[in-house]
Structure 1
Amino acid sequence: MKKTQITIDIELDENHVPEKMMWNAEDGGIEKQETKAVMISVWDDKTMEALRIDLWTKDMPVDQMKMFLHQILISMSSTYELATGEEDVAAWIEQMAEEFVQKAGIRM
């Protein structure tokens, strides 16, 4: 059995706010790549709930955070369709993502 690892190194300021983040994914060829935001979700099948870690650096621009969230919504649509085969619900999620662009004032 092969094992792999994805890591995120986080430098915090004196108030424990992320100042700098670097991530590594050896199998993906990613080594010490800087990022401004990270969202990790895992499923706990014992408690039947999603557990999340959302981090962003204090210098992450708001307009980029909006774009990041929009792209996550789009990817959720694709993931949902792959996992369930429900094209109609996936299309609804994608439509919601496009409405988010309008409401959040995202310039594409």
Structure 2
Amino acid sequence: MKKSEIKFIVSLDDNNLPEQLHWRADDSGMEGEKECKAVMLALFDKKDQTTMRIDLWTKEMLVEEMQQFFFEMYMSMADTYMNATNNKEHADKMKSFAREFGKEVNLIK
């Protein structure tokens, strides 16, 4: 069985707040590490049947960037939900919410 690794490197300040975030993945097609400003990782625990999360963002991430990040995540979650469940009705409802959010934070008109 082939294995592939995804790695996150978090540089913290004296108060343990993220100053820099980097990531790399064996199968990403890129060389070395890439910098990012935010990471949202959700894991569904096989045994406990619960979702665990890791949410990190750097101190330099602007509110407008966070709003864009969330808008794009909402849209991506709707796509993933559709691909995983083939439930178009609920995927469309998720996208509708995402578009309303995008309008509220002035990302789309």
Q: Give the TM-score taking structure 1 as reference length.
A: 0.93
SS in structure 2 opposite 1:40? strand
- Aligned-partner residue type, residue 103 of structure 2: Q
Cα RMSD of the aligned pairs, angstroms, is: 1.3
Counterpart position of 2:21? 21
Q: Give the TM-score taking structure 2 as reference length.
A: 0.93
Which ranges in structure 2 are unaligned for 5 or more consecutive residues?
Answer: none
- Aligned-partner residue type, residue 50 of structure 1: T
1:1-108 aligned at under 5 Å gives the runs 1-30=1-30, 31-106=32-107
Identity %: 38
- Aligned-partner residue type, residue 63 of structure 2: V
1:79 deviation in Å? 0.6
Deviations 1:10-64 (A, max 9, x none): 1000000000111001211232100000000000132221100000000001101
Q: Which of the two has greater strand per residue?
A: 1
SS in structure 1 opposite 2:2? coil
1:104 deviation in Å? 2.6
Which runs of at least 4 in structure 1 moved beyond 6 Å after TM superposition? none
**Aligned partners of 2:9, 2:3: CA distance in 1, in Å?**
20
- Aligned-partner residue type, residue 19 of structure 1: E
Contact map agreement 2:38 2:58 (CA 8 A) in 1: yes
Contact map agreement 2:99 2:108 (CA 8 A) in 1: no
